[in-house]
Amino acid sequence: YEEVKGEKAQSAVSVGLDQSNSQTQRVNATFVTLARNSDIWEIAKSIRNVEDRFNRNFHYDWVFLNDKDFDDEFKKLTTALVSGTTHYGRIPEDHWSYPDWIDQDKAREARQEMGRKKIIYGDNEAYRHMCRYESGFFFRHPLMMNYEYYWRVEPSIELFCDVPGDPFRFMKENNKKYSFVISLYEYYETIPTLWDSVKGFMKSHPEHIADGNAMEFISEDGGETYNKCHFWSNFEIGSLEWLRSKQYIDYFSTLDHDGGFFYERWGDAPVHSIAASLMLKADEIHFWNEIAYYHVPFTHCPSSEKTRLDLRCHCKPSENFDWAGYSCTKRWFDVNKLQKPDGWDSQQ
Task: State the catalytic residues.
Answer: 236
List the single partner that 268 binds among Mn ion, ligand GDP, none, CB under 5 to 8 Å by kind: none
Distance of closest approach, residue 66 Cβ to ligand GDP, in angstroms: 4
User: Which residues bind to ligand GDP, rule: CB under 6 A?
Assistant: 33-36, 39, 66-67, 126-127, 130, 154-155, 234
Distance of closest approach, residue 20 Cβ to ligand GDP, in angstroms: 32
Q: Which among 149-157, 195-203, 249-257, 311-319 is the span making contact with Mn ion, rule CB under 5 A?
A: 149-157
Q: Which among 30-38, 96-104, 151-159, 221-229 is the span making contact with Mn ion, rule CB under 5 A?
A: 151-159
SS3 track for the chain = CCCCCCCCCCCCHHHCCCCCCCCCCCCCEEEEEECCHHHHHHHHHHHHHHHHHCHHHCCCEEEEEECCCCCHHHHHHHHHHCCCCEEEEECCHHHCCCCCCCCHHHHHHHHHHHHHCCCCCCCCHHHHHHHHHHHHCHHHCHHHCCCCEEEECCCCCEECCCCCCCHHHHHHHCCCCEEECCEEECCHHHCCCHHHHHHHHHHHCHHHCCCCCCHHHHCCCCCCCCCCEEECCCCEEEEHHHHCCHHHHHHHHHHHHHCHHHHCCCCHHHHHHHHHHHHCCHHHEEECCCCCEEECCEEECCCCHHHHHHCCCCCCHHHECCCCCCECHHHHHHHCCCCCCCCHHHHC
Distance of closest approach, residue 303 Cβ to Mn ion, in angstroms: 24
Q: Does 134 bind Mn ion (CB under 5 A)?
A: no
List the single partner that 35 binds among Mn ion, ligand GDP, none, CB under 5 to 8 Å by kind: ligand GDP
Residues 234-273 that bind Mn ion (CB under 5 A): 234
Residue whose C-beta lies closest to ligand GDP: 126
List the single partner that 67 binds among ligand GDP, Mn ion, none, CB under 5 to 8 Å by kind: ligand GDP
Distance of closest approach, residue 69 Cβ to ligand GDP, in angstroms: 10
Distance of closest approach, residue 154 Cβ to Mn ion, in angstroms: 4
Give the residue with the Cβ less far from ligand GDP, 42 or 220.
42
Give the residue with the Cβ less far from ligand GDP, 80 or 126.
126
Q: Does 154 bind Mn ion (CB under 5 A)?
A: yes
- Give the CB-side neighbour count of residue 237, counting CA atoms within 13 A: 21
Q: Which among 26-34, 208-216, 226-234, 324-332 is the span making contact with Mn ion, rule CB under 5 A?
A: 226-234
The footprint of Mn ion (CB under 5 A) covers: 154, 234
